[in-house]
A and B are shown apart, each in its own frame.
Chain A
Amino acid sequence: MNQHTLKITASDQPTVLERLLQVSRYRGFTVTGMTMFPSNESKQLDIELSVASEQPVANLEKQLNKLFDILDVNVENKETQQCRA
């Protein structure tokens, strides 16, 4: 399994988290951690999402980028990190 952390900027919509989690699961990524920082002034959310998967993280990055409420996706550690069991 490869571990990755994605820094995501999203519209502050009540539905955005469900959408994010649904796409992550469907595309084969297990969410191993998530932190969310609402920013009331800009009506945006900063989300840090940690995922584990056998799939290339670019697959998830591209699918998340397609979501209407997701404004920006950055993969923090593009290089693959192996999980130590």
Chain B
Amino acid sequence: MSSNGKFTGGSLLFNVLQEHGVKHVFGYPGGAIMPIYDALYDSEVEHFLCRHEQGAAFSAIGYARASGKVGVCFATSGPGATNLITGLADALADSIPVVAITGQVPTVAMGSDAFQEIDVFGLSLACTKHSFQVKDVSELGEVLHQAFEIATSGRPGPVLVDIPKDIQVAEAQPLHAVKAVQFERDQTKADLTQAQALLASAQKPVLYVGGGVGMSEAVPELRAFMKTCKMPSVATLKGLGSIDKDDPAYLGMLGMHGTKAANLAVQQCDLLIAVGARFDDRVTGKLAKFAPNAKVIHLEIDPAEIHKRRFADASVLGDIKVNLPPLAMPLSIDDWYAHCLAMKADYGWRYDHPGDSIYAPSVLKQISDVMPSNTVVTTDVGQHQMWAAQHMEFDHPSNWLTSGSMGTMGFGLPAAIGAQVSRPLDPIVAVTGDGSFMMNVQEMSTIKRFQLPVKILLIDNAKLGMVRQWQDLFFQGRLSETDLSDNPDFTMLANAFDIKAKTITDKNEVNDAVAEMFAHQGPYLLHVKIDAEDNVWPLVPPETANDKMMEKGK
């Protein structure tokens, strides 16, 4: 019901949200979305006020990724809507189901360059799976249902619904006039004949696991498949957590900052089984030299990804959860399996680091070892992100939230907020860097308001570290605009938001500080100062084959 006692378009929105089981939304009000916020006033849906619309979008993404549900965010027209755009781009690039609702100026004012008017529909074309602009209140219920269906079906993605202010206040028909649809998975089984033949004859197969496995809820099927096949495996950044971390032949992440064993195994294999992965450029390095001896089986839900960057000798189109189990078969690959185990042992991580300063990979490994298995780790983007991907382990991909394809700095803190809202009893750790943290630092206000017990691990090298590393390696050390030595006092900053904080600079302080962070009941910021010169290794330089990686001290 709205403030005038009528059942309006705004009321209908909350009806539909509840019909889809939405309990939490993230947003920021403004002029053109006021009738929706008026209807929110009486709604059972809980709204989390973020302090920037980009924060609301990332919180919706974090919520969706940690829970497997649809994330919902609200913004007003004009600048509110444009502030959502980066979040929508991130959700599209990582295939995350998000429904974004924007207010729009009234239909009579549209196209007149009205106050806070922007053509958000036009803006959305490149950064949503689909978008709607509602011009008649009679279409609103149906459109909102379609938005949820499109966001979750097939390869998921963000959907934007732009609702002009007069549609929000117009009298509407309550929900019973609108069909609530139960969406069903497509159970169609693909033809596996070719894939089975390739797998049966492979001498040196590798399983290459991407984000699609977690998104199709196929982690149990994947692990069962691996128990039968017993083959070496690697994961993409988004696929981390899918493979059983204790599987002896799991070689870790592949690609630009992948492990040496993972990259060498893929380069040497004769069959690559890509499951919910898309041969991204950060995975393949120089595409023409990627897995040069391998035939490819590609299991994928999006037809447009088949043959897009790498020809698939056998393509299996459809739901991985349906198609992976019947492909399982015992393999006789003992020599290859032993070779991969030997590479894993030979090229394992080393944590020795001279001097008293703190080595970030050690801290992340230590946290990974002590954190409960239901912990959700979010990251921002840069060196800390790659260190976390390399040195932390997860039991499930929904416990690892990182901006993969878009690589959006500012993702980690609001994503952690969304994750904490969706999983209030689980520990949430936002691993961030001093550059990224400042990009959505205002969201500490959201943490304060809702007393969310998010733990922030801020790895601070007073640099825009990854760009600095590249400037050192590939731009003759010309350090252009990567110095952040005038960062604020981060503990004081956290304290200003009533967040307990501590700074550590010496490796002897790490144990106690990590214990204190996890023991603290509320939000906590652990500020870890590290050497500015520490680099992420290994690194496959741009346009280089993945076996030609640069390594520490070489």
Contacts and interface: CB of A to CB of B under 8 A. Distances in A.
A18 B125 contact: yes
Contacts of A66: 302-304
A68 B130 contact: yes
Contacts of B126: 22, 26
Nearest to A65: B303
Contact of B304 (A19, A26, A59): A59
Residue with the highest number of chain A CB atoms closer than 10 Å, among B121, B304, B307, B308: B304
In order of increasing CB-CB distance, the 4 nearest A-B pairs are A62-B304, A22-B125, A68-B130, A62-B303
Interface string A42-85: 00000000000000001100110111100000000000000000
B340 to A, nearest CB: 34
Given A15-B121, A22-B125, A62-B306, 12 more contacts: A15-B133, A18-B122, A22-B126, A26-B126, A62-B304, A65-B304, A66-B302, A66-B303, A66-B304, A68-B129, A68-B146, A68-B150
A18 B131 CA distance: 12
Interface of B: 121-122, 125-126, 129-131, 133, 146, 150, 302-304, 306-308
Q: How large is the interface on A (under 10, 10 to 19, 20 to 34, 35 or more residues)?
A: 10 to 19
B390 to A, nearest CB: 33
Interface in A1-59: 15, 18-19, 22, 26, 58-59
Query: Which among A59, A66, A67 has the highest number of chain B CB atoms within 10 Å?
Result: A66
Given A15-B133, A66-B302, A68-B130, A59 B122 contact: no
7 contacts: A15-B133, A19-B125, A22-B126, A63-B304, A65-B304, A66-B302, A66-B303
> What secondary structure prevails in chain B residues at the interface with A?
mixed
Nearest to B303: A62
Contact of B308 (A18, A19, A59): A59
Nearest to B307: A58
Nearest to B153: A68
Interface centre among A15, A58, A59, A63 (most CB of B within 10 A): A15
Contacts of A59: 304, 308
A56 to B, nearest CB: 8
Contacts of A65: 303-304
A67 B155 CA distance: 12
A58 B131 CA distance: 24
Contacts of A22: 125-126
Contacts of B306: 62
A50 B237 CA distance: 39
Contacts of B125: 18-19, 22
A14 to B, nearest CB: 9
A22 to B, nearest CB: 5
A22 B146 CA distance: 22
Contacts of B129: 68
Contacts of B146: 68
A82 B490 CA distance: 61
A65 B306 CA distance: 14
A18 B129 CA distance: 14
Contacts of A19: 125
A18 B133 CA distance: 13
A26 B302 CA distance: 18
Contacts of A15: 121, 131, 133
